Amino acid sequence: MAAMAVVTVNAPAGAADEPELIFKRSTVWKFLTPDHKLATYAVDDPLIDGVACHFAVPEKGGIPGWLGVAEEVSDISLACRQVGPISFKGEFEQGEEMFRQRRSLFFKKMRIVRGCDAKRNVLVYVIYSDKLVEGSPKNSTSTVPIMPWGDQTPAKCGDYLKD
Do residues 129 and 110 lie in contact, with contact meaning Cβ atoms separated by under 8 Å?
A: yes
Give CA separation, 22 vs 1, 43, 48, 63, 126, in Å. 26, 10, 21, 24, 20
Looking at residues 85-111, what average pLDDT do you find? 85
| Between residues 26 and 161, the one the model is more confident about | 161
Do residues 103 and 109 lie in contact, with contact meaning Cβ atoms separated by under 8 Å?
A: yes
Cα–Cα distance for residue pair 63/34, rounded to 1 Å: 8
Q: Mean pLDDT in the chain?
A: 80
Give pLDDT, residue 74: 62
Confidence of residue 136 (pLDDT cuts 50, 70, 90): low
Give CA separation, 10 vs 14, 22, 99, 163, in Å. 12, 20, 9, 27
> Residue 7 above 70 pLDDT?
no
Give pLDDT, residue 109: 79
In 61-147, at which residue ranges do the beta strands (DSSP E only) sit? 77-88, 96-102, 108-117, 122-131, 139-145
| Between residues 36 and 115, the one the model is more confident about | 115
- Claim: this prediction has a pTM higher than 0.85: no
Cα–Cα distance for residue pair 45/21, rounded to 1 Å: 16
Looking at residues 152-163, what average pLDDT do you find? 93
CA-based end-to-end distance of the chain = 43
Cα–Cα distance for residue pair 92/98, rounded to 1 Å: 10
Give pLDDT, residue 62: 57
pLDDT in tens, 64-88: 655 565 655 667 899 999 999 999 9
